[in-house]
Amino acid sequence: MTLNVVIMAAGKGTRMKSALPKVLHKLGGRSLLQHVLDTALALQAARVVVVTGHGAELVEAASAPSGAVFARQMPQLGTGHAVLQAAPLLDDAQPTTLVLYGDVPLLSVASAQALLQACGGERLALLSFEPADAARYGRIVREGTGAVQSIVEYKDGSPEQRAIGEVYSGIMAAPTAALKRWVAALRNDNAQQEYYLTDVVGMAVAEGLQVQALVTPDEFEVGGINDAAQLAALERELQRRLAQRLMAEQGVRLADPARLDVRGALRCGSDVEIDVNCVFEGDVTLGDGVRIGPNCVIRNATIGSGTAIHAFTHIDEASVGANAAIGPYARLRPAAVLGDEVHIGNFVEVKNSTLARGAKANHLAYLGDATVGERVNFGAGSITANYDGAHKHRTIIGNDVHIGSNCVLIAPLELGAGATIGGGSTLSKDAPAGQLTVARAKAVSLPGWQRPAKEPQT
C-alpha cells in the first residue's frame, strides 16, 4: 500500500480529568493510540506521522517503537492546523494520505482499505456514519445528485443542516499533494476561530475534484473517546464482540460472555471452558479441553491441553503442560515452566522454576529458582530459600524426591533422586539420593518456664 498516515494525537483530553494524555488511556489492554498505530501498520503505510501536543514527550515515547515520526502542534488551533504541522513530513512519493485520530481506536482495516480505494490518490474520500444521536458532529451536506458538497460543523450549521442524520467521522483519505495545498490555504473565520480540516471539502469541490462519503454501518468502529464514561462504554462493547468471536469462531464455552476481559490476544483450542470474571492479558494460548475457573488472571501464558486452572489463580509469564491442575488460589510468576500432569494447589507460589512431569506441591508452599524432577512431592509449608540478601541461588531436586511438611531448603542445594526429607527440616547441605535426611534441632523442655503475662491495667 502506497500511502502516508497522519494520526491526530495532540489534544489534552480535558474531560478525561487525568494527567495522562487521552490517547494513552487503555482500551482492551492497549493504548488508544496503539490501536491506531496497529491499523497503520496493517495498512503497510510508508510514512506514519503522529501529531503531538499535550504530553508530547509521553506520547512520542510510547509511539517511537512503531517507527512513526512526529510533528508538534503548539498551540492546538484545530484539526486543519494539526495536518498543516504534519504536511512537511509527508512523503510526496506516496499519492494518498489517510487522516486518523488517536482517540478513535477501533477503525477496521477493511473500512480503511475501502476508504483508500475510494480515494485512489485522485479523489477526496470521507468516512461517514448515521448515529442514533447525531449530537454535535459535523454534518455531511450532499447535493441533489448525492455528491458531497461540504461538511458543516454543528456550531456553524443552520437548523436545516443540523437536522441532517449523516455525520462525518473525522477520518478521510486525500491526494497527498492536494491535501498539502488545501491545509496551507485554510482560514479560521468561524465560530471557534480554528482551522477546520473539514473546510478542505469545499476546496475540493471548488477545484472540481470528486468528493465521496462512504457510510459505515458500524458506529462502533468510528466511536471516539472524550471522557471516562465513553471509554468504559467502548470497552464493554469491545469485550462483548471479543466474547462473541471466541464463541463463534473457536467454540469457547463462556459461563457469562458479559463477564470476560481480554486485554490482548487469546487463542483457544477446542472444548475450552471459561468461567466468570476471568482476565486474559498479553498473549495467551489455551490448549484443547482447558478449563478456567472463576476469577482467574492469566497473562502471557501457554496452558496445555486438558489442564484445569481452578478459581482465583494468577499466572504471569509462565507455561503449564498438559493434564495439569493449578489452584485454587495459586500463583505462577515469570519463568515458571510446569510439565505435564503437574499439580500446584492452594496458596502455592512458583517463580523461575521448572517442574517435571507429575511433580506436586499441593498446599502452602514456595518454589523459587528451583529445578524439580518428575513425581516430586513438595510438602505443605515447605519453601526454597533462594535469596541470601544479595544473590539468588538455585535448588535442584531429583526425580521421586519426597519433601515433608514445613521444610526450608536453603539454596544452593541439591537433593538426590529418591531422597526423603523429614518434615520440619531446615537443610543447608545436599541430601544424598535414596536416603532419609532429617535436619532438626534437639527438642528441649524447660521446667518452671512461664509464658510472659500482660501487666494488669489500672
DSSP assignment of 234-282 equals HHHHHHHHHHHHHHHHH--EES-GGGEEEEEEEEE-TT-EE-TTEEEEE
Query: How large is the average pLDDT for residues 105-112?
Result: 96
* pLDDT score of 190: 77
Tens-place pLDDT, residues 431-448: 999 999 999 888 888 889
3-state DSSP call for residue 337?
A: strand
When pLDDT is cut at 50, 70 and 90, the band that residue 452 belongs to is confident
Is residue 132 scored above 90 in pLDDT? no
Pick from 116, 110, 127: which is nearest to 94 by CA?
116
Q: What percent of the chain has pLDDT over 70?
A: 100
Q: Which residues of 63-93 are buried (b: 16+ CB within 10 A; e: fewer)?
A: beebebebbebeebbbbbbbbbbbbebbeee
* pLDDT score of 28: 96
Q: How many whole angstroms separate alpha carbon 31 and alpha carbon 24?
A: 5
* pLDDT score of 171: 96
Structural domains in the chain, CATH included, are 3-222 (3.90.550.10), 251-437 (2.160.10.10)
Pick from 363, 83, 60: which is nearest to 197 by CA?
83
When pLDDT is cut at 50, 70 and 90, the band that residue 421 belongs to is very high
| Total Cβ atoms within 10 A of residue 296 | 24
When pLDDT is cut at 50, 70 and 90, the band that residue 1 belongs to is low
* pLDDT score of 319: 98
Is residue 145 scored above 80 in pLDDT? no
Query: How large is the average pLDDT for residues 210-228?
Result: 93
Average pLDDT over the chain, rounded to an integer = 94
When pLDDT is cut at 50, 70 and 90, the band that residue 450 belongs to is confident
* pLDDT score of 333: 98
Indicate the pairing of strand 30-31 with strand 26-27: antiparallel
> Mind telling me the catalytic residues?
363
* pLDDT score of 331: 98
Tens-place pLDDT, residues 18-53: 999 999 999 999 999 999 999 999 999 999 999 999
